[in-house]
Amino acid sequence: MPELPEVETVRRHLEATIPGRTIRSVRLSGKRLRAPVSRGLDRRLRGRTFVAVRRHGKYLLADLDGGLTLISHLGMSGRWLFMKRPPAKLPPHVHARIAFTQSGELWFQDPRRFGLLELVNTGAVSRSPGLSQLGPDPIASPPTGESLRAIGCRARTPIKTFLLDQKRIAGIGNIYASEILHRAGVDPRRRAMALSAADWKAIAGETSAVLEEAIARMGTTFSAYRTLWNEPGSYGSQLLVYDRGGEPCRRCGTPIRRVVQAQRSTFFCPACQKRRK
DNA sequence: ATCCTATCCTGTAGGC
DNA sequence: TGCCTACAGGATAGGA
C-alpha cells in the first residue's frame, strides 16, 4: 500500500503534530510485526520528546531527544493515526499506543503486520537493517537520466522490477512504477540494460513528476491507506493505468493490459508503451 | 553477483 | 447467507 507519496504525507502530518510532545506511556500489543518490535521500546521511549520527523524512501524516522530515533515502516497495511481524544473501545490491530503528557495519542495500526517498529540510536539509523541497503530517495535527490542509466545500464531485470528495487531507488512501489512507465512511454517488460538515454531521461522526469503530483494529493487510497488524520488520499482519480486492466487507455483508448512480473501486477498500454522507442 | 520464488499476515471481493 | 479461492499498496530469506 503505502509508497513514497503516502509515507511523505504521513511524515508531513507527523512533523506538524508530534515535535514538542513528550511521551507519557507506550503500550504495545506484544504481537510480532515484520520483525519483533525492539525490546524495551516502551520503557526506553517513556519521558522522551519528539524533535523532528524524517523520511528515506518508505521508512519514517522520528527523532527524539536523548539521541533516539523511532524507525517505522508501514508495510502493506500499516497506519500512523493521531487520536486527539482516544475512543474507549480500541479498534483491532493497534500494535502501539503512544500517549503524550500534553494530550492525544499516536497509534500504529497494522492488520497484516508487515510493518516495522524499531528504536535505535540516531547515529546508527543508516546502519539499521533495511535502511543500510537503501538507494537514494528520489525527492531528496531527484534522479536524472544519467544517474538512472548509471545504475541501470547493466541490469538484466525488466525496468518495472528495476523501479521496485529499493536498493536502486528508494520509495517507488507497485502503483507508481506502472504510472511512471506509462507516462514515460516505456514498455515495463523491457530489460533495463536495453533502454536508451532518451528512455532513462523520460523515466527520471516522470518519476519526479508523478511522485510530486501524488504528494500534492496526499497519495493514493484504495482501501486501507489513510493519512494521520484518517483521511484518504485523492491521487487514485489521476491513475492512468494502475488497476485499470481491460479499461480504455485515457490517452489512446487501447485496452490496458495486466501482466504479472516478479509476482506483482503490472498495468500498461500496449499502444502508448511500445517495445521499441 | 543477480534474479526469481515462496513466505510472512489479515481483509475483502468475486464466483458458486 | 455462507463457503471457497484469489488477490492486495512490501520486504526478504533461500535457491537456482
Proximity of residue A263 CB to strand B below 7 A: yes
Nucleotide whose C1' lies closest to the alpha carbon of residue A166? C11
Q: Which pTM does this prediction carry? A: 0.96
Residue A241 and residue A178: Cα distance in Å, rounded?
A: 7
pLDDT in tens, A213-225: 999 999 888 767 7
pLDDT above 80: residue A2: yes
pLDDT, residue A180, reads 97
Query: Which residues, 6 or more positions from A42, have their beta carbon under 8 angstroms from its beta carbon?
Result: A25, A26, A27, A28
pLDDT in tens, A141-153: 999 999 999 999 9
- Chain C positions with any atom < 7 A from a protein CB: 7-13
Residue A221 CA distance to nucleotide B7 C1' (Å): 26
pLDDT, residue A1, reads 63
Proximity of residue A156 CB to strand B below 7 A: yes
Point out the residues of A that are catalytic: 2-3, 58, 264
- Per-residue confidence band for A52, with pLDDT thresholds at 50, 70 and 90: very high
CA A183, distance to chain mean position in Å, is 20
Nucleotide whose C1' lies closest to the alpha carbon of residue A3? C9
pLDDT above 70: residue A276: no
Residue A245 CA distance to nucleotide C2 C1' (Å): 29
**Short-list A117, A259, A132, A115, CA closest to A187:** A259
Kindly state the average pLDDT of the residues A46-73: 97
Half-sphere exposure of A93 (CA within 13 A, CB side): 15
pLDDT in tens, A168-204: 999 999 999 999 999 999 999 999 999 999 999 999 9
Burial of A147 (0-12, 13-18, 19+ CB in 10 A): middle
pLDDT in tens, A82-141: 999 999 999 999 999 999 999 999 999 999 999 999 999 999 999 998 899 999 999 999
Residue A252 CA distance to nucleotide C15 C1' (Å): 43
